[in-house]
Structure 1
Amino acid sequence: MASSDINWDRLDKTKFYVVGAGLFTGVTVALYPVSVVKTRLQVASKDTLERSALSVVKGLLKTDGIRGLYKGFFTVMTGTIPTRVIFLTALETTKVASLRMLEPFRLSDTTQAAISNGVAGMTSSLLAQAMFVPIDVVSQKLMVQGYSGHTQYTGGLDVARKVLRSDGIRGLYKGFGLSVMTYVPSSAVWWASYGSSKHYLWRILGDNSGEEGTPSLPKIILVQATGGIIAGATASCITTPLDTIKTRLQKFSFLEKMAKQRGRLEHHFMIIV
């Protein structure tokens, strides 16, 4: 394995979780408005005036100010930090276990990295979805509240209470099967691509070019960043279409179903009359 790899038994767990949570929070703060805009565009109806990303941003800033770009943010952070801890723990422990199981097969480092990272990504994503899907359902309803005829809420608890009242616990797990179908393979592909591409790049660049036989920091950043780009591009081909379908399923609220039912009743009544 590459000398830049740090396995679970050599990892400083405190720094791992604290730094990981801090970086994840920072990334979430930076990218959350993109998620809000994307979700609104995914559920836009034909009659919606805001049909582009720029128009959605302008509409949010006009009605709610900068807070509009962070609808549901605190709900997401409350649920995703513990979910992230579960994901990272499962990822690293499963990766180590997979590597040990692959040792007798004498595979190349690149192949071992692809298989172990792929299995770890798949397992950790499956566990994380059980916690994240209800948070995702609630946060996305907050993101689109008041938009294109969607219901207004007073907060995350109000969303959860109304969903439970109308649909029961199943309402909080709308799209769970599709989430698993979307993110579990995507996570497996992302981590497999990242692990294998990183080892391939180390083989090209040379693993021990820094002081004391360790890679230099710029080289580590270059390899990890390039590996992340390759992995992201590969996984997005799987995620994007299914994510759109999942989002639409999760937005199909009780009130929307009632409106459709009322429309059908009115249609039947007109036929009878």
Structure 2
Amino acid sequence: MAADFVAGTLGGVAGVLVGHPFDTVKVRLQTQSSVAPKYSGAFNCCIKIIKQETVFGLFKGMASPLVGLTFINTLVFGVQGNVQRQFDQSSLYSHFISGSLAGFVQSFISGPMELAKIKVQIDTQGKERKGKYHGSIDALRKIYRMEGFRGCYRGLMLTIARDTPGLGIYFMSYEFYCSEIAKMYADGQIGIMGLLTAGGLSGMTSWVCTYSFDVFKTRLQAEGLDGQNKYKGSIDVIQKSIRNEGIRVINKGLGTQLLRAFPTNAAIFTCATLSLELMGQTSNNSNGRQG
């Protein structure tokens, strides 16, 4: 239904505005050197970005996700909603399958979008000097000029490995949390706070399960700012990262991502669900605010 696409659009805008500063910090932590780390943690990273680049440094690269993620959420909620309705009943299985399909589709859009966003986020030259890129669109244009179409899809396999199961878990867990929260109320109405809680928890659950792929994807997409690439591909970045930094590398920046995941996905799901209700549609996720 068209309502799913509209709800996804509104949810996407809300999610980007809430979560982008957290994402900038996460990317800086994921890509910093383990030998001579620039930041001691998320808070230290945030403070240094503001001091060196002003508060707007936290919003670097937002143009790409604001356009891209809004479109992606439109696509994801539209695909997931319409595929899920093809099942005979609304089960956790149906939400996982429809979410996974939506995640696979979105990978082909989120890949280049995140590549451009990451390049801008790590392109730090302080307040006075200009960086290599003037924004996400400029970054993507220059990447295409230097590396062609293939270069714009650097890290695609890791993006698919993250988003396909990730979106399945995302929608399935939202259905589960909505149902469990609804059991706490006699009338089965979970209300705004219930929606916010279910949305936030579903985002955190999804990221905990797939975060390691995001670390490797980010590293593969972040390199080359100095004109040199040290990774040959997806397998190589996994092997070298674990060999050089140990298995703990798979959780690098996870704390920041979870802090971002709760408010971001609370905003996305709540805005999307309420939008469907305002348009007179029943959300396919726990029937809106019903248990």
Question: Shorter-chain TM-score: which interval?
Answer: 0.7 to 0.9
1:71 aligns with 60
Pair 96,254 (structure 1): closer, same or farther in 2 beyond 3 Å: same
1:117 aligned counterpart, secondary structure = helix
Give the structure-2-normalised TM-score.
0.69
Which protein is bigger by CA-based radius of gyration? Answer: 1
Question: Is there any run of 5+ residues in structure 2 with no aligned partner, and where?
Answer: 232-291
Q: In the alignment, what sits opposite 1:39?
A: 27
Tell me which of the two structures has the higher relative contact order, counting C-alpha pairs closer than 8 angstroms and 6 or more residues apart. Answer: 2
Tell me which of 82, 93, 101 is aligned to 2:71: 82
Mapped partners of 2:197, 2:43: distance in 1: 29
Q: Counterpart of 2:24 in structure 1: which amino acid?
A: V
SS of the equivalent of 1:54 reads: helix
Gaps of 5+ in 1: 1-7, 104-111, 210-214, 261-273
- 1:134 corresponds to which of 112, 115, 121: 112
Q: For the Cα contact (< 8 Å) 2:5–2:78, is it kept in 1? A: no
Cα–Cα, structure 1 residues 226 and 132, in superposed 2: closer, same or farther, change >3 Å?
Answer: same
Q: Normalised by the size of structure 1, how large is the TM-score?
A: 0.73
Q: How many residues align?
A: 226
Find the counterpart in structure 1 of residue 155 from structure 2: 175
Distance 2:179 2:165 in 1: 21
Residue matched to 2:259: none
State the secondary structure of the residue aligned to 2:85. helix
Bigger mean CA deviation after superposition, 16-25 or 125-134: 16-25
* Gap change, CA 1:180 and 1:113, over 3 Å in 2: same
CA distance in 1, matches of 2:38, 2:18: 26
* Aligned residue runs from structure 1 range 45-56, under 5 A: 45=33, 46-56=35-45
Between stretches 86-95 and 223-232, larger displacement belongs to: 223-232
Residue of structure 2 equivalent to 1:108: none
Does residue 27 of the first structure (1) align with residue 18 of the second (2)?
no
Identify, as 1 or 2, the structure richer in helix. 1
The 5-angstrom pairing of residues 1-273 of structure 1 reads: 8=1, 13=2, 17-18=5-6, 20-45=8-33, 46-97=35-86, 99-100=87-88, 112-146=90-124, 152-202=132-182, 205-206=185-186, 209=187, 215-216=188-189, 219-253=190-224, 255-257=226-228
Distance 2:230 2:93 in 1: 48
- Equivalent-residue separation in structure 2 for 1:204 and 1:49 (angstroms): 46
CA, structure 1 residues 61+192, in 2 after alignment: closer, same or farther (shift >3 Å)?
Answer: same
